[in-house]
Copies of this chain bind each other. A is one copy, B any other.
Amino acid sequence: MTQPGINRTVRVRQRAAGIPGPEIFELADEPVPLCPPGGVLVRVLLASVDPGMRGWLSAEANYLTVANGFVMRAHGIGEVIESDCAQWQAGDTAFGWLGWQQIAAVAPADLLWPVDLGQAPPALWLSLFGLNGLTAWLGFEHFGRPQAGETVLVSTAAGAVGSVVGQLAAAAGLRAVGLAGGPEKVARASAEFGYHTAIDYRAAGPELRAQIAAACPDGIDIFFDNTAGAIADAVFPALNVAARVVQCGTASVESWLPVPVGPRRERDMLVKRLSWQGFVAFDHEDLFPQAQARLQSLYAAGQLAARDEILEGLDKAPGAIRYLYGGKNNGRLCIRP
Q: Which residues of B contact A268 (CB under 8 A)?
A: 278
Q: Is the CB of A270 within 8 A of B280?
A: yes
Check if A145 is an interface residue, CB within 8 A of chain B. Answer: no
Q: Which residues of B contact A232 (CB under 8 A)?
A: 266
Binds B, one of A55-63, A196-204, A294-302: A55-63
Q: Which residues from 205 to 241 on chain A have a C-beta closer than 8 Å to any C-beta of chain B? A: 225, 228-229, 232, 241
Binds B, one of A8-16, A105-113, A253-261, A313-321: A253-261
Interchain CB contact (< 8 A) of A278 among B250, B269, B280:
B269
Check if A283 is an interface residue, CB within 8 A of chain B. Answer: yes
Check if A277 is an interface residue, CB within 8 A of chain B. Answer: yes
Interchain CB contact (< 8 A) of A264 among B248, B262, B276:
B262
How many of chain A's residues have a CB under 8 angstroms from any CB in B? 38
Q: Which residues of B contact A263 (CB under 8 A)?
A: 259-261
Check if A247 is an interface residue, CB within 8 A of chain B. Answer: yes
Q: Is the CB of A63 within 8 A of B271?
A: yes
Looking at A228, A271, A277, the one whose CB has the most chain B CB atoms below 10 A away is A271
**Are A247 and B266 also in contact (CB < 8 A) when A276-B276, A278-B271 are?**
yes
Min C-beta distance of A159 to chain B, whole Å: 15
Q: Is the CB of B253 within 8 A of A264?
A: yes
Q: Is the CB of A261 within 8 A of B262?
A: yes
How long is the Cα–Cα vector from A264 to B280 in the complex, in angstroms? 19
How long is the Cα–Cα vector from A83 to B274 in the complex, in angstroms? 40
Check if A303 is an interface residue, CB within 8 A of chain B. Answer: no
Q: Is the CB of A264 within 8 A of B228?
A: yes
A63, closest chain B residue (CB): B271
Check if A142 is an interface residue, CB within 8 A of chain B. Answer: no
Interchain CB contact (< 8 A) of A267 among B256, B267, B272:
B256
A248, closest chain B residue (CB): B270
How long is the Cα–Cα vector from A62 to B267 in the complex, in angstroms? 9
Chain A to chain B contacts (Cβ below 8 Å), 16 pairs:
A63-B273, A228-B266, A247-B269, A256-B264, A256-B267, A260-B264, A261-B261, A261-B264, A269-B276, A270-B278, A270-B279, A273-B280, A273-B283, A275-B275, A276-B276, A276-B277
